[in-house]
Structure 1
Amino acid sequence: MEVARGQSGVQSVDRAFTLLELLADAGGRATLGELAAASGLPAPTIHRLLRTLVAGGHLRQEPSRAYALGPRLVRLGEGAGRLLGSWVHPALTELVEVTGETANMAVLEGDRVVYLAQVPSKHAMRMFTEVGRRVPVHCTAVGKALVAQLSEADVRAIVARAGMPAQTPNTLTEPAALLAHLEQVRRQGFATDEAEQELGVRCVAVPVLDGPARVALSVSGPDARFTPAARDRVVPEMQRVATELARISRA
């Protein structure tokens, strides 16, 4: 293993984590050549680091010779998810108290969004999303809030791999329509889901900018109760909570 140190620590550790993140961004699987092109690192260096990660169970090499995220990362991810969820739980509870609706936290993982934490509404009729559930980016408020931070090329690559199937008659199913919508998301600072994933459900989401991961907060409820006016009223509070979470993560 390399022992040379860069400005931010042990260089080989920095590079290993860069490769893991690139693999995650590529959907969990990539070839050595793809990793070399994406990272700019020499192929022999990448090969040496990949062999170390494979030996430790953090990666596995498939018969095609491509590398994929390994089983040992599952336990690490589950532990990190639980800790991240407990860290954000007070903030979600605060949003539920203010809005009266269900609050969620989700993260972009590869080409999909994963819910990491939720505090349900106190109403008898409320939205429920299982923690750990993976959902598309194109039809969810959290997905749009997250990918709005990416370049157009990255968004096109995600939807090319994942597709844009219609979940309801309101779902955006064309990349051009999604990209135009993401411009609006960037301008207004929040994303919406107007019954695009599930009929009768309205959702709004804001990104946690400069946080420890690409994370977004969302509030969702039945559209008969969570009206557009109610949605717009909660956005400033959601942005305040997101800013506070980002500040705490940097402390």
Structure 2
Amino acid sequence: MTAADPARGRVQSVDRAFALVDALTRRGGRATLGELCTDTGLAAATVHRLCGTLAESGHLRRDARRDYLLGPRLQRVGDAAARATWSWAEPVLAAVVEGTGETANLAVREGDGVVYLAQIPSPHSMRMFTEVGRRVEVHCTAVGKALVAGDDDDEVRAMLGRAGMRRYTASTIVQPDSLVAELERVRRLGFATDESEQEEGVRCVAISVGSGDAAFAISASGPEARFTEDRRDAAVETLRGAVAGLHP
């Protein structure tokens, strides 16, 4: 019988199966049995059994080295998810690019980090580019700050304790108290910024839309030399206008 958590309605085997898929994804689509055990904390027998079931269905496969790889059925799932996202995100991001002249991004929270789901690049030859599917940290990104601003301070501190606060530039916020203060500013203003905190010379502004698991963030990002503070502040209204009335 499949174990479940009646209080939360969760099925343990499903949680574990998706944990394995997530672990493989983080490792670039290939991992050994030992690596999956390490990443998920599951016993080797459990990993072997679940991966065998997923391989039989085509969601995973094994190669000649006996490594586990993401399977072809997951590619179809990913393609379908991308099309579903793009169908409503494209006009929103296009409106942001038209209104700001800068690259527009869509991101969602994933655990203690943030993942970019879609992007439309700026028409300028010098522009920002973020790989779709890339996972970034909360403390140094505008989209991350926007998405966690709704959390209370204790939740934020717990998240930072798990994820850490890596320094990327001289401007990166690396103290929990400083980020908590920054998130209070985000709540007050209704938007978040990244002032060369993840990459030197790059400015970004983001707003969050929705709540809980349905929340997402959209942002505009560009080089500081062109995307000045005045243009950044004007971009906030463009972001808000782009999502007005949107129900993804």
TM-score normalised by L of structure 1: 0.72
Q: 1:118 to 1:102 in 2, by over 3 A?
A: same
Which residue in 2 is equivalent to 1:50?
12
Residue aligned with 1:192, SS:
strand
TM-superposed deviation, 1:78: 5.8
Q: 1:114 to 1:82 in 2, by over 3 A?
A: farther
Indicate if the aligned counterparts of 1:193 and 1:203 stay in contact, CA closer than 8 A.
Answer: yes
Residue aligned with 1:244, SS:
coil
Which residue in 2 is equivalent to 1:153?
154
- Report matched runs for 1:61-140 at 5 Å: 62-63=42-43, 75=74, 76=77, 79-140=80-141
TM-superposed deviation, 1:134: 0.6
Indicate if the aligned counterparts of 1:209 and 1:243 stay in contact, CA closer than 8 A.
Answer: no
Q: Distance in 1 between matches of 2:159 and 2:45?
A: 23
- Report matched runs for 1:182-197 at 5 Å: 182-197=183-198
2:200 paired with 1:238? no
Q: Percent identity?
A: 50
TM-score normalised by L of structure 2: 0.73
Indicate if the aligned counterparts of 1:209 and 1:242 stay in contact, CA closer than 8 A.
Answer: no
Quick one: which amino acid aligns to residue 117 of structure 1?
Answer: A
Which residue in 2 is equivalent to 1:19?
none
Structure 2 unaligned blocks of 5 or more: 21-39, 61-69
Summarize deviations over 1:36-82 as a string: whole Å, max 9, x none.
6xx845xxx75xx324x279x44568119999x98759834663244
Residue aligned with 2:107, SS:
strand
> What is the number of residues matched between the two proteins?
206
Q: 1:102 to 1:211 in 2, by over 3 A?
A: farther
Structure 1 unaligned blocks of 5 or more: 2-15, 17-31
Quick one: which amino acid aligns to residue 188 of structure 2?
Answer: R
Q: Distance in 1 between matches of 2:190 and 2:102?
A: 20
Which residue in 2 is equivalent to 1:204?
205
Which residue in 1 is equivalent to 2:173?
172
TM-superposed deviation, 1:243: 3.1
- Report matched runs for 1:8-19 at 5 Å: none
Q: Distance in 2 between matches of 1:199 and 1:182?
A: 21
Summarize deviations over 1:137-187 as a string: whole Å, max 9, x none.
000000000010222222112211110011100000011100010000001
Quick one: which amino acid aligns to residue 176 of structure 1?
Answer: D
User: Aligned Cα RMSD in Å?
Assistant: 3.1
